[in-house]
Amino acid sequence: SGNASVGETVDYTITGIDAGAGVVKSSEKAIEEYGLEDWEVKTSSGGAMTEELGNAIEDEEPIIVTGWTPHWKFAKYDLKYLEDPKGVFGDEEQIKTMVRQGVKEEKPNFHKILDQFAWTTDEMEQVMLSVSDGEDIETAAKQWVDDNEDKVAEWTKGTEKVDGIEVELVYVAWDSEIASTNVIAEVLRRQGFAVKITQVENAMMWKAVAEGEADGMVAAWLPGTHGDLYESYKDQVEDLGANLEGAKIGLVVPKYMDVTSIEDLK
């Protein structure tokens, strides 16, 4: 109804993703800092969130989700980030690559490829979009690698092919990380590596690399989103720098909603 507050229309609920995600923790912090006492973040999964978002948009209903860029949802739907005048969600971030200590000496070609891996938001979104259109991720990753020989040549420059060296990457089931991990895995396979990719929770992803159970990951959102995990593990991992610039997290709504700032939720 016309006079209902935004809170009433969405049942004072932010539609979240998995509880381990940094964007969920930041949303809980936003509830505190903006004094949104009646609100809660409903946790589920990245897939459940995008499904609910799609359903709401189909019916032109209000919804507030934990969002991030790069993500295919911005290409598919008319969405906007809510302004965050208190800066709870931080500024633009980098997605960084972390590997276990010692892997540089043991698997130098793997190390060098991960170190040289870097792409853009547009490139990552190409893979995400084809998956959201129904393509399976292995096929989408192969297609992207086939279509981007120059980029792949930069990532593999100065390395030699290997004969079945085993490497394991860990990742979380976020659409952006599903895309990046599968693309770099495909590149490594074409260089002769036997690649295993293992899906885990966020904290476990960091721990596995820090404790040497996995060789690396391409899913470290810094300085903000995974800042707490980085603090815990920074002395036990090797930071290979950014693989993508201009990442961002925040609260996201369809543009048809008459709300511009998190402050408006009070």
Footprint of ligand PBE (CB under 6 A):
17, 21-23, 68, 174, 176-177, 202, 221, 225, 249
Cβ 30 to ligand PBE shortest distance, Å: 13
What Rg, from alpha-carbon coordinates, does the chain have? 19
Distance CA 141, CA 184 (A): 8
Q: At what angle do helices 137-147 and 175-190 cross, to 10 degrees?
A: 60
Q: Which is nearer to ligand PBE, 66 or 109 (CB)?
A: 66
The CA distances from residue 227 to 95, 146, 206, 215, in Å, are 12, 35, 11, 20
Nearest alpha carbon to residue 165 among 197, 207, 193: 193
Cβ 173 to ligand PBE shortest distance, Å: 10
Cβ 106 to ligand PBE shortest distance, Å: 28
Q: Which is nearer to ligand PBE, 95 or 140 (CB)?
A: 95
Distance CA 209, CA 168 (A): 10
Cβ 248 to ligand PBE shortest distance, Å: 9
Among left, alpha and beta (phi > 0; psi -120 to 50; other), residue 66 is: beta
Q: Which is nearer to ligand PBE, 19 or 162 (CB)?
A: 19
Q: Which is nearer to ligand PBE, 214 or 222 (CB)?
A: 222
Q: Which is nearer to ligand PBE, 43 or 225 (CB)?
A: 225
Cβ 227 to ligand PBE shortest distance, Å: 10
Q: Which is nearer to ligand PBE, 76 or 189 (CB)?
A: 76
Distance CA 82, CA 89 (A): 11
The torsion of the CA quartet 143, 147, 150, 153, rounded to 10 degrees, works out to: 20
Cβ 176 to ligand PBE shortest distance, Å: 5
The CA distances from residue 246 to 39, 211, 229, 230, in Å, are 29, 29, 20, 19
